[in-house]
Amino acid sequence: MNLAQFPRRGYVKEPTPIEFLPSFSKALGGKVNIYMKRDDLLPGTGGGNKTRKLDFSIADALAKGCDTIITCGAVQSNHARLTLAWAVKEGLDCHLVLEQRVAHSYNPAASGNNFLYQLLGVKSITVVDGGSNMAEEMQKVADKLAAQGKKPYIVPGGASNPVGALGYVQCGQETMQQMFEMGLNFDHIIVPSGSAGTHAGFLLGMLGCNMNIPISGIGVNRKKPVQEEAVYTLAQQTADYIGAKIDIPREAVVAYDDYVGPGYSLPTDAMCEAVIMLARTESILLDPVYSGKAMSGLIDLVRKDHFKPGSNILFLHTGGSPALYAYLDTFRKDVHF
């Protein structure tokens, strides 16, 4: 697929590493070999997956002559943090609309990403109730700024539209190339599945190269059929946007909902176990909302013998560790400090 036809800013300068996790694989019984694609190490303040998407989204904003970025997220949004960070670096204003997906969850004094919003000098934060129409709420902010003579550009939640998903189409292609160079074949790939751009883009990138490796998403929010439909639709829209004729089999879209727990961003014991296990076997930091829950899914699937013995499994680490510092109390029962 020709991604060179789209403007991008060049935030992603080199492939992120694919690493074998020997101690973690052993801690899980040594039945399978677990590898990790380290998108947590992507450039951008605090790292993480949104940098790949914003490389295209911010380029689109600049190509359209915009001087102000508006985006949305939950109260501890990695996407909001990274959008703000790249906007600052580009000399663009950035305004955030934050959704209290958990009632009363916005705490202006919270650490983690919330602290970073202020440290990075966010222009404004508008807090709205869970379930609000975020597109409308962002449009209201955009209209107000336009009336003041600004040229606003709205990046949807998670940059999960066809423009942003291009970043993960590229990641799929990059992973295929790395597998070839490393002489390493994967039997299964696990990706976190949230606002769907990562999962949809990665799947499309792989399908576009005829890489028939099963990809399983681990949902962090929505029910399985709803999430799978969101991923499927975005993958098709992204293929159309690229101008690629690719058959996306519906059954290639799998997004488990068994690891969400009580809801988006709410801790689970399995998430805590995953975060602590990765820290103590591989010195890798996961996050409580996405990569920790996704890893809890991988751990469960390994324990349930979902994968053939000896399989090579790739986990896409999408980042998010700054959010750990907003969850200190969650970890106090297991980590003593």
When binding is defined by CB under 6 A, the residue of 197, 208, 288, 297 that contacts ligand PLP is 197
Point out which span in 5-13, 87-95, 177-185, 314-322 binds ligand PLP (CB under 6 A). 314-322
Total binding residues toward ligand PLP, as defined by CB under 6 A: 20
Q: Is 160 in the site for ligand PLP (CB under 6 A)?
A: yes
The residues in 256-285 that bind ligand PLP, with binding defined as CB under 6 A, are none
End-to-end CA distance of the chain: 50
Per-residue contact flags (x/-) with ligand PLP for residues 39 to 78, judged by CB under 6 A: ---------xx----------------------------x
When binding is defined by CB under 6 A, the residue of 71, 76, 113, 195 that contacts ligand PLP is 195
Q: Is 312 in the site for ligand PLP (CB under 6 A)?
A: no
Per-residue contact flags (x/-) with ligand PLP for residues 198 to 237, judged by CB under 6 A: xx--------------------------------------
**Catalytic annotation, residues:** 77
Q: Which of 121, 91, 34 shows the shortest CA–CA distance to 303?
A: 34
Residue type at 337 in one-letter notation = F
When binding is defined by CB under 6 A, the residue of 43, 112, 194, 208 that contacts ligand PLP is 194
Q: Is 113 in the site for ligand PLP (CB under 6 A)?
A: no
Closer to ligand PLP by Cβ: residue 145 or 189:
189
Site residues (CB under 6 A) for ligand PLP? 48-49, 78-79, 158, 160, 192-199, 287, 290-291, 318-320
